[in-house]
Amino acid sequence: MAILLFSFAAAAPAAAGQPEGATDLAAGLDRIARSHRVNLLFDERLVAGKRISVRATPSTIERELAQTLKGTGLTYRNAGGGTFVIIADTTGDKAPTPEAPPPPVPDILVIGRYTLDTDIRRSADDAQPYRTAGRRSIEDAQPGSVEEFLKTRLPQNAQTLSLNQAPFSAGGSPRSQIDLRGLGTDHTLVLVNGRRLPSTPGLGELLQPDVSGMPIQGIDRIETLASTAGGIFGIGADGGAVNIVTKNDFDEAALSVQTGLSGRGDAAQRMIDAHIGWTSASKHTRVSLRYTDRTDEGLSFGSRDFIESSRTLRYQRVGSRNYLPVSASVNVVSATGSNLSLIPALGGQSLGASSTFLPLGPAAASSVGIAALLTNAGKLDLTLAQDGQGAEQSLLTPADAHSVLATVRQDVGRSLVVYADYLRFSTTGRAVIGGVQTTTSLSPGQLGNPFAQPIIITYPAAGLLGQILSRSTTDRLTIGAIAQLGKGWVANFDAASGQATVFQVESYTPVSGYAINAFAGGTALTSQLARVAVTPFFQNYATNRLRDLNLRVAGPLVNLPAGPLSITLTAELRDERAPGADYDNYVSTPALRSSTHYQSARQTVGSAFAEARIPIVSNDASKSVLRGLEAQVAVRTDRYEIAAPVIDAQLLQLGTFGNEVRSKGTVTAVTTSLRFNPTDGITLRGSYADGYTPPTQSQITPNGFSFGFFPYSDPKRPRDSFASSIQTLFLYGGQPGFARKRRGPGRSARSRSRHSSPACVFHSTS
């Protein structure tokens, strides 16, 4: 599409009734946009050199546009959602009049001044229940990330817990997760500028793309459809879809710095955002470049008192037999549950309880230590240790994010635009964990055990911090062209190549490698812990590469009494390949490293899509209760093939499934909807949609083991144990060949996930 100027109504309405002298048409259109608070899209070359002389009068936007454009050879179209497009009038004297405003344009490929979105423009007034958050809404919310914004501003997002809120169990990952309608993150499709990102690679899975590094300052709007959308967006969108549209400000340079703290003066956040835009003198070449650096210092256990409060509550409920925390002291509990008694060398006294603790400082064999053990009988120390198991442990994962957004656009003649769009996000989480496991069991007389009974103890490891580092990086380069084909038809072709990588390393030391006497006193314990080396325990590296080709053609097919019937046709070929993942396990020292390489996995999808917008009743049919009735029908067919490696060593040795398992299938999804305006300010709409998600790699990858004896009787042969006479292969996990067969209409293969969403929505636009 040719260069579009975007005029947005952000100022107060101009006073009506004031005479206007001869003025530039572009300036006049800008005044109208501000006066009526609408968006106007127009090609600056269409209005160049045109001057108008009009008197602004109280009127509707349609009436004023028709009056302003009269005699200019231009007309307008209503794109819906408060957006109007100025175009050349190809109908001669049949320019639109206020009494017969033109119908909405169903498909706009937006490549305007501020955005580069290759998807159909969506709005809240669409037949489908889209929600659009503009840049003003996003900036006012002041979120730290896209995930945070959608978690607090989108009720349909069921992802209540972020990965950075569970540093240990999430492996220190700050990766984003969006879960529309609670169907799971693998059922929510995430797009950027209408196109897919590389899936995040996992061990045996391709996960939802990571947008945790997407800069909030670089977002123009976020479009969400919290409804099954397989008929529009394809497989993986049966929970809904999220489209993030980036800014492309070609005429400005800006530098912004933000800092923030929590209400308690911690959890500092810092952000630096730098942007520069450039437009050539001919305005045929435009460049936009943005770099953002964001730091979140996170929180530690010691930053909040509710960690110790929860310890106290748990101890009160379950007691020391079922709860033995690591604290600032040496906590002791009898392994058998019997009362503890000191060894004869320390006096032999009975504590009369099964638990006690020794403060860090005196040795257990000293008089001070013996007195402390007796005094604290029946108690445990619940305060946090000053180490990675206690106060220093991460409560919220500290993270650093770096991002680059770059766009280059070049006009070639009046009807062709070529562009290149590059994005890169990199987010690194660094969570603190315990540097050494300090829960151990001791027999009588072992490692300074002062009791005559076997005990279980925990002790602090001051200064020892383990760490989980997780880095997620996503990049994508898109090169494309948008061509005006004439008579309102537009074609868009683009090719994208991208890669997503995940690197994780966990560093700590198992206590089994060291003999620690926790009862020797604080100085001696510190000396012993100084010998402990915190080293990498395991690490893994995984990559996924994306290749994506898209072709779209859209335009009016035929003119109906209520307006043009417009169609959109799309073809897509997408290939994702994970060339393999490396997993290194160091056991206790780097010298004992063992490595595993997971073989390549891939997913290939070919898609065909058709969407029609059919105006049935005109918007100006004021006497009809079905005024503005419009139907939307979308059909999408996806043919997929998934290949995953067999990683089970025994199955590989047996050769039962070879080195690779596959799943193939073809799925078709349909979306239909209706909308109309029974009266001013009221829109009624209803829709039906279905969608599919193909099986995941883990669902088609088997695991197993073989055995020649199983200790259960065969009910048909009571004298024989099950499998006692033959070698048996026991399979569990995924099933090879899942969803290999294609099912007929109205039937769904058992391995595919299918969701349908009938909906009827009452929507007020007043």
- Which stretches of the chain score pLDDT less than 70? 1-22, 37, 54-59, 80-82, 90-125, 203-204, 510-514, 580-599, 648-650, 652-654, 705-729, 737-766
Where does residue 169 rank: exposed (0-12), middle (13-18), buried (19+ CB within 10 A)?
exposed
Q: Which candidate, 766, 763, 761, 752, places its Cα nearest to that of 235? A: 752
DSSP 556: E
Q: Are 129 and 226 in contact (CB under 8 A)?
A: yes
The DSSP result for 482-525, as a single string, is: EEEEETTEEEEEEEEEEEEEEEEEEE-B-GGGS---TTS-HHHH
Q: Is residue 62 part of a domain?
A: yes
d(C-alpha 549, C-alpha 713), whole Å: 58
How crowded is the C-beta side of 578, counted as CA atoms within 13 Å? Answer: 30
Q: Is residue 292 part of a domain?
A: no
Of 102, 129, 162, the one marking the end of a domain is 102
d(C-alpha 654, C-alpha 731), whole Å: 13
Q: Is residue 721 part of a domain?
A: yes
The domain in which residue 59 lies consists of: 5-102
Is residue 299 within a helix (H) or strand (E), and if so which, with residue range?
Answer: strand 299-300
d(C-alpha 437, C-alpha 514), whole Å: 10
304-327: per-residue pLDDT in tens? 998 899 999 999 998 887 899 999
Which residues in 115-137 are b (16+ Cβ under 10 Å) and which e? bbbbbbbbbebbbbbbbbbebee
Give the residue carrying structure tokens 């991002």: 403
Identify the pLDDT of residue 738.
65
Q: Is residue 31 part of a domain?
A: yes
Q: Which candidate, 504, 583, 584, 497, places its Cα nearest to that of 544? A: 497
Is residue 286 within a helix (H) or strand (E), and if so which, with residue range?
Answer: strand 285-296
Identify the pLDDT of residue 15.
37
d(C-alpha 112, C-alpha 6), whole Å: 7
Q: Are 57 and 87 in contact (CB under 8 A)?
A: no
Show the CA angle centred on residue 66, arms to residues 65 and 70, nearest 5°. Answer: 115
d(C-alpha 270, C-alpha 292), whole Å: 11
Using DSSP's 3-state secondary structure scheme, residue 762 falls into strand
Pairing of strands 399-412, 269-279: unpaired
d(C-alpha 501, C-alpha 511), whole Å: 32
Q: Which two tokens stand for residue 577?
A: 């390949």
Q: Is residue 36 part of a domain?
A: yes
- The residues that bridge with 52 in the sheet, in sequence order, are 23
* Helices 25-36, 61-69: inter-axial angle, 10-degree rounding: 170
d(C-alpha 683, C-alpha 472), whole Å: 43
d(C-alpha 515, C-alpha 155), whole Å: 53
Q: Is residue 58 part of a domain?
A: yes
Identify the pLDDT of residue 746.
31
Phi, psi of 267 (to 5 degrees): 55, 50
Q: What is the CATH number of the domain that holds 96?
A: 3.55.50.30
**Number of domains the chain contains:** 2
Where does residue 533 rank: exposed (0-12), middle (13-18), buried (19+ CB within 10 A)?
middle
Of 85, 102, 119, the one marking the end of a domain is 102
The DSSP result for 161-200, as a single string, is: S-GGGSTTTTTT-------BTTS-GGGEEEEETTEEPPPE
Q: Which two tokens stand for residue 316?
A: 């009160």
Q: Are 637 and 691 in contact (CB under 8 A)?
A: no
- The residues that bridge with 103 in the sheet, in sequence order, are none
468-510: per-residue pLDDT in tens? 999 999 999 999 999 999 888 999 999 999 999 999 998 887 6
Q: Is residue 680 part of a domain?
A: no
Return left, alpha or beta for 696; rule: phi > 0 is left, psi -120 to 50 is alpha, else beta: beta
Q: Is residue 87 part of a domain?
A: yes
Please state the separation of Cα 528 from the chain's center in Å: 45
Phi, psi of 498 (to 5 degrees): -155, 175
- Which amino acid type is present at position 568? T
Of 46, 78, 102, the one marking the end of a domain is 102
The DSSP result for 238-256, as a single string, is: SSEEEEEEEB--TT-EEEE
